[in-house]
Amino acid sequence: MDAPLNDKKIAFLATDGVEQIELTRPWKDLQGAGATLHLISLEQGEIKAFHHLDKAHNFPVDKVVSEVNANDYDALVLPGGVANPDTLRQNGDAVSFVKHFFNSNKPVAAICHAPWLLVEAGVIKGRTLTSFPSLKTDIQNAGGKWVDEEVCYHDGLITSRTPQDLDAFCARIIEVLSQI
């Protein structure tokens, strides 16, 4: 099996309330493509994932966001869920970590409610992206152009709407990362 991402190191930024499938599916696909992955969160230990509003599994945290350097990663994946990005956008270290990827022109992939963190980081002005539909106004108010598409790629930013879009989302992440 060809592993096009053998030399890539990818950060997943998430905390309690992450939508489990939006964490595990990209993780599985990127790991299968050969990438090295780290789950980064606000604290050591584990994060609690959810299936919509129902508690799901716990996942071990590899590194704490206040102790990592975005320069050590080739890309960033931001899974959704409602509580996950809402909590992350209130943490200065998480917001700075996201900003660094954009300032360094490194790919960022965000699905569902994860673009809330992008709004907080002030990085979507002039960009076209998609998200869970309820974020449309937030994105527009932050200067972004919201589109209702399965997957959207614009200037290093890969976005999708919901878990139903994971096939296209994961494929686009791998495609983009294999070209850098």
Indicate which residues carry an active-site annotation: 112-113
Query: By the 8 A CB rule, do 82 and 53 touch?
Result: no
Q: CA–CA separation, 60 vs 149, rounded Å?
A: 32
The neighbour count for residue 26, using CB atoms within 10 Å, is 24
State the maximum Cα–Cα separation within the chain, in Å, rounded to a whole number.
44
Q: What angle do CA 130, 52, 85 make, to 5 degrees?
A: 50
Q: CA–CA separation, 1 vs 152, rounded Å?
A: 28
First vs last Cα of the chain: how many Å apart?
A: 20
| Interstrand relation of 151-154 and 157-160 (parallel, antiparallel or unpaired) | antiparallel
CA-based nearest residue to 37, from 21, 50, 26: 26
Instruction: State whether residue 12 is helix, strand or coil.
Output: strand
Query: By the 8 A CB rule, do 158 and 108 touch?
Result: yes
